[in-house]
Amino acid sequence: MKLKIIVPITSDEFNEEVKREIKHYVDPDDYVDVENLDYGPASIECEYDEAMAVPDILNKVKKAQEEGFEGIVIDCFGDPGVHAARELVDIPVCGGFEPPMQIVLGLGQNIGVITVLPNVVPMLHDLVAKMGIEKRVKSIRYVNIPVLDLGDKQKLEDALFKESLEAIQKENVHVIVLGCTGMMGVARNLMNRLKEKGYDVPVIDPAFAAVRMVKTYVRMGLKHSRLTYMIPPVKLYTWWEK
Amino acid sequence: MKLKIIVPITSDEFNEEVKREIKHYVDPDDYVDVENLDYGPASIECEYDEAMAVPDILNKVKKAQEEGFEGIVIDCFGDPGVHAARELVDIPVCGGFEPPMQIVLGLGQNIGVITVLPNVVPMLHDLVAKMGIEKRVKSIRYVNIPVLDLGDKQKLEDALFKESLEAIQKENVHVIVLGCTGMMGVARNLMNRLKEKGYDVPVIDPAFAAVRMVKTYVRMGLKHSRLTYMIPPVKLYTWWEK
Amino acid sequence: MKLKIIVPITSDEFNEEVKREIKHYVDPDDYVDVENLDYGPASIECEYDEAMAVPDILNKVKKAQEEGFEGIVIDCFGDPGVHAARELVDIPVCGGFEPPMQIVLGLGQNIGVITVLPNVVPMLHDLVAKMGIEKRVKSIRYVNIPVLDLGDKQKLEDALFKESLEAIQKENVHVIVLGCTGMMGVARNLMNRLKEKGYDVPVIDPAFAAVRMVKTYVRMGLKHSRLTYMIPPVKLYTWWEK
Amino acid sequence: MKLKIIVPITSDEFNEEVKREIKHYVDPDDYVDVENLDYGPASIECEYDEAMAVPDILNKVKKAQEEGFEGIVIDCFGDPGVHAARELVDIPVCGGFEPPMQIVLGLGQNIGVITVLPNVVPMLHDLVAKMGIEKRVKSIRYVNIPVLDLGDKQKLEDALFKESLEAIQKENVHVIVLGCTGMMGVARNLMNRLKEKGYDVPVIDPAFAAVRMVKTYVRMGLKHSRLTYMIPPVKLYTWWEK
Amino acid sequence: MKLKIIVPITSDEFNEEVKREIKHYVDPDDYVDVENLDYGPASIECEYDEAMAVPDILNKVKKAQEEGFEGIVIDCFGDPGVHAARELVDIPVCGGFEPPMQIVLGLGQNIGVITVLPNVVPMLHDLVAKMGIEKRVKSIRYVNIPVLDLGDKQKLEDALFKESLEAIQKENVHVIVLGCTGMMGVARNLMNRLKEKGYDVPVIDPAFAAVRMVKTYVRMGLKHSRLTYMIPPVKLYTWWEK
Amino acid sequence: MKLKIIVPITSDEFNEEVKREIKHYVDPDDYVDVENLDYGPASIECEYDEAMAVPDILNKVKKAQEEGFEGIVIDCFGDPGVHAARELVDIPVCGGFEPPMQIVLGLGQNIGVITVLPNVVPMLHDLVAKMGIEKRVKSIRYVNIPVLDLGDKQKLEDALFKESLEAIQKENVHVIVLGCTGMMGVARNLMNRLKEKGYDVPVIDPAFAAVRMVKTYVRMGLKHSRLTYMIPPVKLYTWWEK
How does pLDDT run across D163-187, given as a tens digit for each residue? 999 999 999 999 999 999 999 999 9
Query: pLDDT value at position C100?
Result: 98
Helix axes A187-196, A153-171, angle to 10 degrees: 50
Distance CA F132, CA A137 (A): 10
Can you give the three-state secondary structure of D99-147, one letter per residue? HHHHHHCCCCCCEEEEECCHHHHHHHHHHHHHHCCCCCEEEEEECCCCH
Phi-psi region of C236 (alpha: psi -120 to 50; beta: other; left: phi over 0): beta
- Write down the pLDDT at residue F4: 98
Choose among F238, A133, F44: nearest CA to E10: F238
Residue among A105, A109, A170 with most chain E CBs within 10 A, to mutate: A109
Q: Is the pLDDT of residue E222 over 80?
A: yes
Q: Which residues, including other chains, have CB under 8 Å from residue E8's CB and lie 6 or more apart?
A: E37, E40, E44, E53, E56, E57, E74, E75, E76, E80, E81
Kindly report, residue by residue over C121-145, the tens digit of the pLDDT: 999 999 999 999 999 999 999 999 9
Class of domain D2-96+208-220 as given by CATH: alpha beta
What's the pLDDT at C241? 81
Of F159, F87, F171, F101, residue with least CA distance to F129: F101
State the average pLDDT over residues D116-123.
98
pLDDT digits (tens, 9 = 90+) for A184-232: 999 999 999 999 999 999 999 999 999 999 999 999 999 999 999 999 9
**AA identity, residue A68:** G
Size of interface C-D (CB pairs under 8 A): 141
Mark yes or no for CB contact E109/C129 under 8 Å.
no
* CATH number assigned to the domain with residue range F2-95+208-220, chosen from the 4 options 3.40.50.12500, 3.40.50.11260, 3.40.190.10, 3.20.20.70: 3.40.50.12500
pLDDT of residue F135: 97
B118 to A228, B123, D97, D197: CA distances (angstroms): 9, 10, 40, 40
CATH architecture of D98-206: 3-Layer(aba) Sandwich (3.40)
What is the identity of the amino acid at D95? G
Amino acid identity, position E103: I
DSSP class of residue E238 equals E
Cβ neighbours, 10 Å, residue F196: 9
DSSP reduced 3-state for F212: helix
Helix (H) or strand (E) holding E41, with range, is strand E40-41
> Does the CB of E213 have a partner CB in chain D at under 8 Å?
yes
Burial grade of B40 (CB within 10 A; 0-12, 13-18, 19 or more): buried
The residues in C 156-195 lying below 8 A from A, measured between CB atoms, are: 174
Closest-CA distance, E207 to chain D, in angstroms, reads: 11
Q: Is F87 within 8 Å of E45 when comparing Cβ atoms? A: no
The kind and range of the H/E element at E160 are helix E153-171
CB contact under 8 A, E225 and D201: yes
DSSP F222: -
pLDDT score, position F83: 98
Domain ranges of chain D: 2-96+208-220, 98-206
pLDDT confidence of residue E241: 81
Q: Name D141's bridge partners.
A: D114
Q: pLDDT confidence of C118, banded at 50, 70, 90?
A: very high
Residues in chain A: 242
* pLDDT number for residue C13: 86
Chains touching chain E at 3 or more Cβ pairs under 8 angstroms?
A, C, D, F
Is the ipTM, as predicted for this complex, more than 0.95?
A: yes
pLDDT tens, F56-101?
Answer: 999 999 999 999 999 999 999 999 999 999 999 999 999 999 999 9
Give which of C82, C78, C27, C37 is closest to C218, Cα–Cα. C27
Q: Which residue of A has its CA nearest to B37?
A: A238
> Is 90 exceeded by the pLDDT of residue F170?
yes
The DSSP call for residue A148 is G
Q: Where are the alpha helices (DSSP H) in F67-205?
A: 82-88, 98-104, 121-131, 153-171, 187-196
A24 pLDDT band (50/70/90 cuts)? very high
A241 and B238: CB-CB below 8 Å? no
Residues 6+ apart with CB under 8 A from C234: none
Residue C148 phi, psi dihedral angles, 5° rounding: -75, 0
From chain C, pick out residues whose CB is under 8 angstroms from the CB of D48: 58, 84, 87-88, 232
Tell me what the mean pLDDT of segment B40-57 comes to.
98
Average pLDDT over chain D reads 97
- Composition of chain B by helix, strand, coil, percent to 5: 45, 15, 40
Contact D222 E136 (CB under 8 A): no
**Residues on chain B touching F109 (C-beta within 8 angstroms):** 122, 125
- Domains F2-95+208-220 and F98-206 are alike in CATH topology: yes
CA distance C161 to chain A (A): 23
Indicate the pLDDT class of residue B13, thresholds 50, 70 and 90.
confident
- Interface test with chain F among E36, E47, E60, E234, by most F beta carbons within 10 Å: E47
Is residue E242 pLDDT above 80, yes or no? Answer: no
Closest CA to E202 of E182, E213, E212, E188: E188
Contact residues for C80 (Cβ-Cβ < 8 A; gap 6+): C8, C44, C50, C53, C54, C57, C74, C95
Instruction: Please report the pLDDT score of residue F242 as a whole number.
Output: 65
Q: How far does E211 lie from chain F, in Å, by closest CA? A: 23
Q: What is the percent of chain D where pLDDT is above 70?
A: 100
pLDDT higher than 90, residue D21: yes
C-alpha B17 chain-centroid distance: 15
pLDDT band (50, 70, 90) for residue B191: very high
For chains B and D, CB pairs below 8 A equal 5
Chains touching chain A, criterion 3+ CB pairs below 8 Å: B, C, E, F
Within 10 Å of residue A23's Cβ, how many Cβ atoms?
11
What's the CA gap between A114 and F136, in Å, rounded? Answer: 25
Distance (Å, whole) CA F174 – CA A229 = 10
Is B129 close to F135, i.e. CB distance below 8 A?
Answer: yes
d(CA E57, CA E63): 10
* E vs B contact (3+ beta-carbon pairs below 8 A): no
Q: Are D235 and C41 in contact (CB under 8 A)?
A: yes
Whether B42 has a pLDDT exceeding 70, the answer reads yes
d(CA B112, CA B172): 9
Per-residue pLDDT at A242 exceeds 70: no
Residue of B nearest to C201 (CA): B225
State the pLDDT confidence band at F13, using cuts at 50, 70 and 90.
confident
Q: What is the pLDDT of residue E13?
A: 86
Measured distance CA(B22)–CA(B30) in Å, rounded: 11
pLDDT tens-digit profile of B104-127? 999 999 999 999 999 999 999 999
Query: What is the average pLDDT across E52-67?
Result: 98
Cα–Cα distance list, A20 to A6, A17, F28 (Å): 15, 5, 25
* Pick from F99, F78, F102: nearest CA to F212: F99
Under 8 Å CB pairs connecting chains D and F tally to 5
Crossing angle for the helix pair B15-25 and B206-220, to the nearest 10 degrees: 50
Question: Residue B10: pLDDT above 70?
Answer: yes
Q: Which residues of B touch C212 (CB under 8 A)?
A: 216, 219-220
CA–CA separation, D112 vs D137, rounded Å?
A: 6
Residue numbers in C near A125 (CB within 8 A): 109
Average pLDDT, chain E: 97
Bridge-based pairing state of the strands D2-7 and D31-36: parallel
Average pLDDT, chain A: 97
SS3 content of chain D, % helix, strand, coil (to 5): 45, 15, 40
For residues C61 and C72, is the Cβ–Cβ distance under 8 A? yes
Give B242's pLDDT tier (boundaries 50, 70, 90): low
Q: What is the pLDDT, as a whole number, of residue E80? A: 98
DSSP H or E run through D175 = strand D175-178
Looking at residue E201, what DSSP letter applies? -
Query: With touching defined as 3+ CB pairs under 8 A, do chains C and F touch?
Result: no
pLDDT bin (cut points 50, 70, 90) of residue C242 is low
Closest-CA residue of B relative to A233 is B45
Vertex C117: Cα angle to C113 and C119 (nearest 5): 105
| Smallest Cα distance from C241 to chain B, Å | 35
* Pair C204, C100: CB distance under 8 Å: yes
Largest distance between two CA atoms of chain D: 59
Tell which D residues from 96 to 135 touch C, by Cβ distance under 8 Å.
117-119, 122-123, 126, 129-130, 132
3 state SS of A237: strand
Q: For C192-207, what is the mean pLDDT?
A: 98
